[in-house]
Structure 1
Amino acid sequence: MSRRIDRINEQLRDELSTVLARQIKDPRLDGVISITRVESSSDLRSARVYISVLGNQEQQKEALDGLQSAASFLRREIRNRINMKHTPFMTYLLDESIQDADHILRLINADRPADSFEQNAKNGISELTTDSVALNISCSDYHGEA
C-alpha cells in the first residue's frame, strides 16, 4: 500500500474513533469499541473498518448492528471532517485477530509444563522480572546509553 493510503487510513481511523466517542448516542454502542484498523481500496471509494468490541458475541453483534445503522451519519461526519474528493463507503467488520492471538497464547501456555512455573518460583525468578530486565536493556541499547 502507498504511504498516502496509509495516512488516509490512519486519519479515517482517528476521526471515526472521535465521532464514535463524542457524537453517537446509540445504546448498542455504549460498550468498549475500538477501531483497530481501516483498509481503504486503492481508489479510496470504499473502506473496511475493523472494530474490536469488549464483550460476548451478542454484544459484538449488537455493536455491529449499531454501526451499520449509523453508517450514513458516520460517512457524513467523515465528509465534513476530512477533505477528500470521494468519501469512502465504509463496511464495518469484527477484528478477530485479537481473539485469535489470545487463543494462540492460551494454547502455548497450556502446552507449557506446570513444573517450570514452580521451578522458577523456587529459584526466585518470575517471568515479570525477566521481561522487565529485558525491556530495560533493550531501551537503554536503543537510546545509546550504557
Structure 2
Amino acid sequence: MGELRVRKIQEFIKQEVSRIILHELKDPGLGFVTVTDARITGDLREATVYVSLFGSDEEKANTLTALKKAGGYIRSEVGKHLGIRYSPQIAFKEDSSLDYGMKIDKMLQDIEKKD
C-alpha cells in the first residue's frame, strides 16, 4: 500500500473520529477528549486512535470506557465516509505526551524560579 495513501487515511480517520466524538456521541460518561493521532496498519484493517484525556483518573477511565463502548458505532461511521472495502477495527489508547510535556514545563519553571 502506498505510504501517501496510508498517511491520508490516517489523517482522515483522525478528523472523522474527532467529528464523531464532538457532534454525535451523547454518552454521559464521556469527558473532555482530544484526538491527537491515528495510526493504521499497512493492510488498512486495524487503526489505533490516540486520545488525550483531561480530568481526574476516574474521569479518564470512564471516558476511555465510553470510547471503547462506542467503538463499533465509530467504526461504522468512519467506514461509511472512508470509501474503502473494509472498515478498520478501531482501538483507543490514551496519549499521555501532553501530561508529560506539562510536567517537564513545570520542572523547568521551578528551576528558573530557583535561579
Q: Normalization by structure 2: what TM-score? A: 0.91
Higher relative contact order (CA 8 A, sep 6+): 2
Corresponding residue number in structure 2 for 1:11: 12
Which blocks of at least 5 consecutive residues in structure 1 are unaligned? 116-146
Aligned to 2:56: 56
Which structure is higher in strand share? 2
Secondary structure of the structure 2 residue equivalent to 1:12: helix
Supply the RMSD in Å over aligned alpha carbons: 1.5
Q: Any idea what SS the aligned residue of 1:59 has?
A: helix
Mapped to 2, the partners of 1:79 and 1:93 lie a distance apart of 20
Q: Tell me the distance in 1 between the aligned counterparts of 2:113 and 2:51.
A: 35
TM-score (norm 1): 0.73
Q: How does 1:1-146 map to 2 (within 5 A)?
A: 2-29=3-30, 31-114=31-114
Q: Deviations 1:35-60 (Å, cap 9, x if unpaired)?
A: 00001111111011100122111111
The size of the alignment, in residue pairs, is 114
- Partner AA of 1:38 in structure 2: A
5+ residue gaps, structure 2? none
Calculate percent identity across the aligned residue pairs: 26
Question: 2 CA distance for matches of 1:9 and 1:81?
Answer: 13
